[in-house]
Amino acid sequence: MRTNQRIFLSVIVLAAVSVVPLLGQGDRGLITGTVSDASGAIVPGAQIRIVQGSTNTAYKTVTSTAGNYTVPNLPVGDYQVTVDVPGFKSYTAAKVGVNPGGETRVDVKLEVGTAQQKVEVVAQAQVIQTENARVSTNVSSTLVDSLPVQVNGNSRSPFDLASAAAGEVNSASTFRIGGGNDTVGVTLDGSSVTGDKIGSDAGSGSATAMNSPSVEALTEFNVEASGFKAETGNASGGTLSFVSKSGTNQIHGSAFEFLRNQDLDAKGFFNSVKPIYKQNNFGATIGGPVWFPKLYNGKNKTFFFASYEGFRNRVGAGNGSFFSVPPPAFWTGDMSQWVNGSGQMYQIYDPKDQTLQANGTYTRNPFPGNIIPQTRFDPSVVPI
């Protein structure tokens, strides 16, 4: 019997403060762009406000003298980008997605007008990554929640989801990305998961996979085949960047159970009985704002997320098939006790008595008593 459990807990504190440059993190992304007017002239000093939809966390900056802006270290998710400049209509771009380690570009063209007038657009996903030369595949939270992961002897592993990145991962014999070597770097929320032992310890069923958070605790991940940043530059074969879920302003939770049981299985072609197989992969998650009645309300500020996953595997010692060795009588040619499960004897025929009939068929005579005469034994197989 095998048991395993994973408990993952995170508490995130977010404040609506001005963004300052921080060290790069593989689990976060950035929004960048240029602000100009209708004629194409740059607009310096424009007020940029970026708000995460699920937590209402705000990030602010202004455009440079060249009309450019960059807001780094943004948690993954959807954002609303607002640009305000005196003398121009307020500009708002909704549903701007940020991927782990990705760079989303939102270029803004302002129209002349008053601040009370607004221009609202729904941002479209970038088809081509123009900010850098990296080759990557992002697997969104929708796919992480919906893609099936096989439960076969081990609890579900987030590394199994990497196969969803078509053309990027090959784990037939070892874990490889984009045809590179097995020095694969793996990070969770920007921190290394594999440590010094990269590549060989990054596959499904490894210590890294077994000690990683539950699949239910992940929101999305990114597979990079080349062009990755300096913080993951030691992984010449590619990187896997997993991002854990965090709480939002709404309380959300889930419960799951993946069951395999011999009562639901077929017997198998060679098995006489169903082998014992009882496997349960179960758990639950919950997340939301930190709230203590009459003491503290963490909405828009403090959030929590917790995940529990358990795994139980009970497999019988045998596979349901039965085998035996020949009894002593068989060594002397006595096959009279060679019977099937219903007690019917398997008849032994003399191959030398085979006769061709007129209709083209053959007939053979059975050995009397189902006993093969020892004189018919090949001397090379007779024990000395």
CB atoms within 10 A of CB 30: 19
Question: Within its chain, how far is the Cα of 193 from the centroid?
Answer: 15
Q: Which of 228, 250, 254 is nearest to 239 (CA)?
A: 228
Q: Which of 108, 113, 63, 121 is nearest to 88 (CA)?
A: 113
pLDDT tier at 36, thresholds 50, 70, 90: very high
Which residue would you say has higher pLDDT here, 114 or 288?
288
Where is 328: in which H helix or E strand?
helix 328-331
Cβ proximity of 294 and 254 under 8 Å? no
Answer whether CATH 1.10.357.10 is correct for domain 14-122.
Answer: no
Q: Tokens standing for 366?
A: 């059975």
pLDDT over 70 (residue 25):
no
- Calculate what percentage of the chain has a pLDDT beyond 90: 20
pLDDT over 70 (residue 209):
no
Model pLDDT for residues 81-104, shown as the tens digit of each residue: 999 999 899 999 988 888 887 788
Residues forming CATH 2.60.130.10 domain(s) in the chain? 14-122
Question: In this predicted structure, what is the pLDDT of residue 49?
Answer: 94
Average pLDDT over residues 41-51: 93
Cβ proximity of 289 and 13 under 8 Å? no
Model pLDDT for residues 101-113, shown as the tens digit of each residue: 778 889 999 988 8
**Which of 48-52, 196-200, 207-211 is predicted least confidently?**
196-200
| Dihedrals phi, psi of 353, to nearest 5 degrees | -90, 15
Average pLDDT over residues 290-317: 87
pLDDT over 80 (residue 170):
no
SS3 content of the chain, % helix, strand, coil (to 5): 10, 40, 50
Q: How far apart are CA 367 and CA 347, in angstroms?
A: 8
Which residue would you say has higher pLDDT here, 120 or 278?
278
Helical ranges in 128-218 per DSSP H? 141-146, 207-210
Question: In this predicted structure, what is the pLDDT of residue 255?
Answer: 92
Model pLDDT for residues 331-378, shown as the tens digit of each residue: 888 999 888 878 889 999 998 888 888 898 888 899 999 999 988 888
3-state secondary structure of 58: strand
**Which of 138-152, 225-239, 250-264 is predicted least confidently?**
225-239
pLDDT tier at 61, thresholds 50, 70, 90: very high
Q: How far apart are CA 25 and CA 19, in angstroms?
A: 15
In b/e form, how buried is each residue of 135-144, taking b as 16+ CB within 10 angstroms?
bbbbbeeeeb
